[in-house]
Each structure stands twice: as structure tokens, then as C-alpha cells.
Amino acid sequence: MEKFEYEFNGSLSNHISVLIKIRALTEELERSLRMAGDDKPLFSMAIQMAQISIQSQQCIMSILQSGFISEAHILLRWSLELAHKAFYLAEDPSEYERWISGQEIRPSQIGNFIQNRKFPPWKSIYDEWSDIIHGNYRFVRIQSFIGYNTPANNDQLVIVGQALRNLMIISHKMNSVLCHVVQPYLGSDCDILIAEYNALEDEIVKIHREYDN
């Protein structure tokens, strides 16, 4: 049995249920993008981002269930950066053209864009995840308490739950970008996808209010 398999099927099953729905919507959006035609501007990027989002979500859930908490947070930071980059590119066609030509888009550019749009920058969480990636002492000193070989305990379970809730938000961010890209080409079918997106947002907010307040 995996380290947190019992909790994934029990106390955290509502988290898993929402994440499965989010992934199903991502898959539905990817299909819609393909049907609309990948020759349109941004569509190729959006389809690739959808595929990466699906894979990273599956990977993060899998390694969290196995007990690899630190490793999951490395992928969470990467997924957050990917969602923000997708949003940045979808909103600025000139930057998208630069990006597909092989030019670098610096993280600071995207960070300033997110700030100017008054979206939550996740700075404190991003800094915590950066400690893990860079092996900073603030991370190393607690690794023995959350490591794979440390027996499961309530503190670890709290962190796993927080990670799953953050994954919900990040994956939902990506779905927002995909909706934005495909919306002009779907006509009335778009209303169905938007309704699914809004219903999922309500579920995400409800879970966050229950656990984080």
C-alpha cells in the first residue's frame, strides 16, 4: 500500500474527486482545441500546455500518494510557472511569436505581467517551493520530518492536503487559459464548458474554505 493511499481514498477523497473533474475538463478542452483546428494562432501551444498539465497533475497526485512530498512541491512550482506562462502568451500575441521563434521569456517579465493584472502572485508560496528546488537550509532542516522514509503523521497529511488544494488552483488556472483560447471558435458549445468550469470553481472554493480558514 502507498504511504497515503488510505487517506486518498478516505479523508482526502473529496480533493481527489475534484482533481479528477478538473483533469476531465482539461481533456475536454484539449479535444475542443483539436476539433477547432490546430492551425489557428496559439492553438498548438494551448494543446501542448493541456497535455503537459494533464501529465503533471497525474504525476503530482501519484508521488504525493506515495509519500514524496518535497518532490511533489518541485513539480507544483513548475506547474505554476507553466500556467502563468500560458496565460502570458495567450494574452500577448507578439510575445507568443517571440516565444515560438526560440527567444527566451524571462520569469521576471511574466511576474510583472501577473502583478500588473492584479492576480495573486503566490510570492510566499513560490519562495517556499524555491527553498526546496535550491536546497536552501530552510528546506533541508525539515526534510527529515517530511521525507519518504519518515512514518506518516498528521503534520505530513496537512501538507499533502495543502499540496492537493494548490494543485486544484494551478490546474484550474490552466483550464482558464484553455477556455480563453478556444472560446471564440466554439459558439454555443462554449456555454457548456464555461458552466463546467464555473461549477468546478465553486467546488474548489468550498474545499479551500473548509480546510484553510
What tens digit of pLDDT does each residue of 97-154 get? 888 888 888 888 888 888 877 666 577 777 788 888 888 877 888 788 888 888 999 9
Cα–Cα dist 11/31, whole Å: 33
pLDDT at 168: 96
Question: Picking from 21-25, 114-118, 155-159, which range would have the lowest pLDDT averaged per residue?
Answer: 114-118
38: pLDDT confidence band, cut at 50, 70 and 90?
low
Our count of domains for the chain comes to 1
Domain that holds residue 108: 5-212
Check: CB of residue 53 under 8 Å from CB of residue 82: yes
Question: Picking from 11-15, 35-39, 166-170, which range would have the lowest pLDDT averaged per residue?
Answer: 35-39
What's the full length of the chain, in residues? 213
Q: Is 182 exposed, middle or buried (0-12, 13-18, 19+ CB in 10 A)?
A: buried
> How far from chain centre, in Å, is Cα 177?
12
Digit-coded pLDDT (tens) for 47-76: 999 999 999 999 999 999 999 999 999 999
How many C-beta atoms surround the C-beta of residue 25 within 10 A?
20
Residues 6+ apart with CB under 8 A from 137: none
pLDDT at 26: 96
Closest CA to 130 of 119, 141, 118, 138: 138
pTM, two decimals, is 0.91
